[in-house]
Amino acid sequence: MSVSEQQVQDALKEITDPTTKKDFVSTKSVKNIKIDGDKVSLDIVLGYPGKSVFESIRTLVSDKVKSIAGIGSVTVNVSSNIVSHSVQRGVKLIPGIKNIIAVASGKGGVGKSTTAVNLALALAAEGARVGILDADIYGPSQPLMLGIKDDRPEPSADGKKLEPLNGHGLQAMSIGFLIDPDQPMVWRGPMVTQALGQLLNDTNWKDVDYLVVDLPPGTGDIQLTLAQTVPVTGSVIVTTPQDVALIDARKGLKMFEKVGIPILGIVENMSLHICTNCGHEERLFGTGGGEKMCKDFDVEFLGALPLDINIRQQTDEGNPPVVADPDGRVSQIYKEIARRVAVKVAEQAQDFSARFPNIVIQNT
């Protein structure tokens, strides 16, 4: 008696994708089941980029299907398909961009730009088409971190837009490509929003699955306006474990909640110091702060990066760890975070009617 499609589906309900923590049937990843006598073939189509886990998923699924009685050979193809998700209501989507991920911090200097660039590179390493927009108008650091600070963007063929620059395979745009970094610029609030709007809308983004936006630090008027004008799928908040950083990170979280942007999760940066001489581990800034905050606010703890001299040196030299040492421990952490972020994006509803925020105008 030959095996039925239902038997294959039932078997696949019993195994869990380590990234989504769900079974492949409930995430609608199982496609195209074909049964020919005792031969079975099927596709697993993931909703997140996961090149580095394709092989382990292929083995996991194929071993499970092989365990069904009466099955001879099994062929499993694993791939990813990234689709667009909803954004906050009233904000227009941008052509050429499927999803926008805002990387924010309540406080300056916590490693937001470092996290943004390595997250973008990790998403790309996992197989996605990725762009990075440096919205840190006051202190653009992406041109330096991508090693292309002296490059200048070219106009597009129709002369209407600017071509993004290429930084380690990312499509990149930053105010830093357009101004002289040594000349102080004085920006007023409306100019910042206008400049950002232009960088976002007047760049010729090409088929980007994820655009990572490196927001300016803080939770003032400018961040709020940006959060309301950029069509964001979700936000990632970067913090260090010190209490002062965590207090500001909470403010960031509340700001996104207010404008109806989902929080994809929190990254704790510089959480642990490993001595380069003796390997001793020290929690310079305390322990568990990021995780506790996630519990308090019911958001996901995406991962923790150590305070590591290589992260600083490689990133500040324009060759971030995900590129400089793609198989190293730090890259693995960034890739795990990237996959978790992509899963959280994929979990966002594609209709947004339920998320319209209440706007209350208060006179204080």
Ligand X SMILES: Nc1ncnc2c1ncn2[C@@H]1O[C@H](COP(=O)(O)OP(=O)(O)OP(=O)(O)O)[C@@H](O)[C@H]1O
Residues 53, 104, 110, 130: which binds ligand X (CB under 6 A)?
110
Please identify, using beta-carbon distances, which residue of 12 and 311 lies nearer to ligand X: 311
Using CB under 6 A, which of the segments 20-28, 67-75, 135-143, 161-169 binds ligand X?
Answer: 135-143
Whole-number minimum distance, CB 25 to ligand X, in Å? 38
Whole-number minimum distance, CB 212 to ligand X, in Å? 13
- H helical segments located in the chain: 5-12, 51-66, 112-125, 142-145, 189-201, 221-229, 243-258, 289-297, 309-316, 321-324, 329-346
Q: Is 106 annotated as a binding residue?
A: yes
Distances (CA, A) of 150 to 127, 184, 315: 27, 17, 16
Whole-number minimum distance, CB 256 to ligand X, in Å? 17
**Angle value at C-alpha 254, between 210 and 176, nearest 5 degrees:** 45
Q: Is 98 annotated as a binding residue?
A: no
The alpha carbon of residue 219 and the mean position of all alpha carbons in its chain are separated, in whole angstroms, by 20
Residue 134 binding ligand X, by CB under 6 A = no
Whole-number minimum distance, CB 113 to ligand X, in Å? 3
Query: What's phi and psi for 250, nearest 5 deg?
Result: -60, -40
Query: What's phi and psi for 347, nearest 5 deg?
Result: -80, -10
Closest Cα partner for 100 from 213, 266, 216, 261? 213
For residues 175 to 214, the per-residue mask of contacts with ligand X, x marking binding by CB under 6 A and - elsewhere, is ----------------------------------------
Residue 10 binding ligand X, by CB under 6 A = no
Distance CA 69, CA 8 (A): 11
**Interactions with ligand X, residue window 32-91 (CB under 6 A):** none
Residue 119 binding ligand X, by CB under 6 A = no
Q: Residue 162 has what DSSP assignment? A: B
Whole-number minimum distance, CB 105 to ligand X, in Å? 5
Query: What's phi and psi for 331, nearest 5 deg?
Result: -60, -40
Residue 248 binding ligand X, by CB under 6 A = no
Distances (CA, A) of 343 to 47, 123, 202, 234, 313: 7, 11, 29, 11, 30
Give me 235's structure tokens. Answer: 């936000």
Q: Is 111 annotated as a binding residue?
A: yes
Q: Is 108 annotated as a binding residue?
A: yes
Residue 311 binding ligand X, by CB under 6 A = yes
Distance CA 118, CA 123 (A): 8
Residue 113 binding ligand X, by CB under 6 A = yes
**Interactions with ligand X, residue window 267-286 (CB under 6 A):** 269-270
- 70 Ramachandran zone, left/alpha/beta (phi>0; psi -120 to 50): left
Distance CA 155, CA 77 (A): 40
Q: Is 107 annotated as a binding residue?
A: yes
Using CB under 6 A, which of the segments 223-231, 255-263, 302-310, 352-360 binds ligand X?
Answer: 302-310
Residues 315, 320, 344, 345: which binds ligand X (CB under 6 A)?
315
Using CB under 6 A, which of the segments 101-109, 220-228, 255-263, 321-329 binds ligand X?
Answer: 101-109
Residues 111, 234, 290, 318: which binds ligand X (CB under 6 A)?
111
Number of residues that bind ligand X (CB under 6 A): 21
**Angle value at C-alpha 320, between 314 and 321, nearest 5 degrees:** 85
* Binding annotation: 106-113
What residue numbers does the annotated binding site for ATP cover? 106-113
**Site for ligand X, rule CB under 6 A:** 105, 108-114, 136, 139, 141, 217, 269-270, 305, 307-308, 311-312, 315-316
